[in-house]
């Protein structure tokens, strides 16, 4: 394993993202403890010391599983726990960060958290945490007492918001989504450069875009890889090496679901240093990006002009975005969860045509919604 120095500590360059753990019966709350145990012990034995979970992962079972593993194997002193304050539902009267944190300590069977993040900040969430929940003095006091050792945030919004949040508090680290397909999305390349300039190291999530950059069943991508002399390099290796090559990182998280993925990732990271990405790999990635760019199936710009007039409250741009992502990567399963959550009412379309009139791209929206349903329902 390779390590990154962080304030005098050694953090493994690969972190175990515990949001896609193996489950039984397709139930996200039924984590397969024995399989996770095998992965966890292999990870510790091979030098991984950063384990990333969050309050909602696997409906709380991710934190509980990590707590049980650390307790049963007496390994709390060997590893860093990274977990997150859930930031959805702040408008509800029962939302209480202090109570949530106490519950997290209980689930994790520990008296302190090594890396604590405000989870997935977007919109006004950081402002709300500060003003409504007076979060800064509370975090500061927990840090002073050593109950939280390092404070950071994870992020899902646009670059200006990333810079504004980064500038607004004494963060020790931040976590962003980053991979070669999304290098200009959210914080992106510019966000990495900005954080580096401020001396705030970054944890990277979705380095393989939730598995989409593995390109199952995509012969065109295989051909590109071969053309660049990279036939022996897996898509997982290409994607991870791209991210690991960046400067200013704390660790790269991989949401591993099998012991096979863990072994492969550990092997890749052991050979990937900062600056490792070669010119041929870069040329290959650029060609893959071009194919992805041209694969946009529905030319929706996401302007949302269609949304307000829809009598059925259909999330039209979301439906088209999920469809395009699924088509682009030949991977409908990767979009299923978000699609099911936001687009369960597409069948309610009454074909009134209001959206079509509003759409500057002149998209035939009701017909396209049927295409989306046929692919993703």
Q: Which of 352, 301, 357, 291 is nearest to 327 (CA)?
A: 291
Cα 215 to chain center, whole Å? 18
3-class DSSP assignment, residue 1: coil
CB of residue 236 to ligand SF4, shortest distance in Å: 33
Stretch that binds ligand SF4, among 17-25, 215-223, 233-241, 314-322 (CB under 6 A): 314-322
Are 308 and 360 a contacting pair, CB within 8 Å?
A: no
Q: Which of 200, 211, 221, 214 is nearest to 288 (CA)?
A: 221
Q: Does 297 bind ligand SF4 (CB under 6 A)?
A: no
Across-strand partners of 17? Answer: 52
Show the tokens assigned to 75: 């390994």
H helix intervals, 204-310: 219-227, 235-244, 259-270, 279-294
24 or 301, CB closer to ligand SF4? 301
CB of residue 198 to ligand SF4, shortest distance in Å: 35
Q: Does 326 bind ligand SF4 (CB under 6 A)?
A: no
Cα 60 to chain center, whole Å? 17
Q: Does 131 bind ligand SF4 (CB under 6 A)?
A: no
Residue 25 CB coordination number (10 Å): 6
Q: Which of 311, 333, 344, 347 binds ligand SF4 (CB under 6 A)?
A: 311
Torsion sign over Cα 224, 227, 229, 232: positive
Q: Does 2 bind ligand SF4 (CB under 6 A)?
A: no
Stretch that binds ligand SF4, among 135-143, 161-169, 289-297, 359-367 (CB under 6 A): 359-367
Q: Does 10 bind ligand SF4 (CB under 6 A)?
A: no
- Report the C-alpha gap between 115 and 83 in whole angstroms: 6
Show the tokens assigned to 51: 């384990």
Stretch that binds ligand SF4, among 32-40, 217-225, 297-305, 327-335 (CB under 6 A): 297-305
Q: Does 342 bind ligand SF4 (CB under 6 A)?
A: no
Q: Does 352 bind ligand SF4 (CB under 6 A)?
A: yes
Stretch that binds ligand SF4, among 48-56, 102-110, 150-158, 301-309 (CB under 6 A): 301-309
CB of residue 194 to ligand SF4, shortest distance in Å: 29
Show the tokens assigned to 215: 């390109």
Q: Does 259 bind ligand SF4 (CB under 6 A)?
A: no
Stretch that binds ligand SF4, among 9-17, 109-117, 300-308, 332-340 (CB under 6 A): 300-308
Q: Does 366 bind ligand SF4 (CB under 6 A)?
A: yes
Q: Which of 139, 243, 262, 314 binds ligand SF4 (CB under 6 A)?
A: 314
Show the tokens assigned to 81: 């726990």
Are 78 and 70 a contacting pair, CB within 8 Å?
A: no
Q: Does 214 bind ligand SF4 (CB under 6 A)?
A: no
Under DSSP, the state recorded for 31 is B
Q: Does 359 bind ligand SF4 (CB under 6 A)?
A: yes
Q: How far is CA 126 from CA 153, 273, 334, in A?
A: 9, 34, 29
CB of residue 322 to ligand SF4, shortest distance in Å: 13
Residue 5 CB coordination number (10 Å): 10
Q: Which of 118, 365, 372, 376 binds ligand SF4 (CB under 6 A)?
A: 365
Residues that bind ligand SF4 (CB under 6 A): 300-306, 309-312, 314, 316-317, 320, 349-355, 358-359, 361, 363, 365-366
């Amino acid at each position: 394993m390779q390590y990154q120095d962080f304030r005098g500590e050694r953090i493994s360059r690969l972190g175990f993202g515990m949001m896609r753990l193996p489950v039984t019966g397709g139930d996200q709350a039924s984590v397969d403890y024995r399989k996770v145990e095998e992965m966890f012990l292999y990870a510790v034995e091979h030098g991984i010391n950063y384990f990333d979970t969050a309050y909602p992962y696997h409906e709380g079972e991710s934190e509980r599983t990590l707590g049980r593993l650390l307790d049963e194997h007496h390994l709390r002193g060997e590893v860093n726990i990274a977990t997150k304050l859930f930031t959805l539902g702040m408008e509800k009267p029962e939302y209480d960060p202090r109570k949530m944190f106490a519950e997290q300590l209980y689930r994790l069977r520990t008296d302190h958290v090594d890396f604590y993040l405000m989870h997935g900040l977007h919109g006004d969430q950081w402002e709300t945490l500060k003003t409504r929940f007076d979060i800064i003095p509370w975090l500061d006091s927990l840090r002073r007492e050593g109950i939280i050792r390092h404070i950071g945030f994870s992020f899902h919004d646009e670059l200006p918001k990333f810079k504004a949040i980064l500038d607004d508090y004494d963060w020790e680290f931040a976590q962003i989504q980053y991979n070669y397909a999304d290098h200009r999305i959210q914080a992106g390349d510019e966000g990495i450069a900005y954080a580096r300039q401020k001396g705030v190291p970054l944890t990277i999530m979705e380095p393989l875009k939730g598995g989409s950059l593995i390109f199952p069943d995509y012969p065109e991508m295989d051909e590109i890889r071969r053309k660049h002399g990279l036939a022996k390099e897996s898509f997982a290796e290409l994607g991870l090496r791209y991210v690991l090559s960046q400067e200013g990182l704390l660790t790269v998280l991989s949401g591993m679901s099998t012991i096979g993925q863990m072994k492969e990732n550990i092997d890749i990271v052991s050979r990937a240093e900062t600056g490792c990405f070669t010119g041929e790999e870069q040329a290959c990635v650029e060609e893959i990006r071009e194919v992805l760019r041209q694969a946009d199936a529905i030319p929706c710009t996401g302007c949302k002009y269609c949304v307000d007039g829809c009598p059925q409250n259909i999330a039209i741009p979301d439906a088209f975005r999920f469809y395009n992502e699924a088509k682009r990567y030949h991977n409908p399963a990767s979009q299923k969860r978000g699609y099911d959550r936001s687009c369960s009412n597409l069948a309610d379309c009454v074909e009134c045509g209001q959206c079509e009139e509003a759409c500057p791209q002149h998209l035939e929206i009701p017909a396209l919604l049927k295409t989306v349903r046929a692919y993703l329902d």
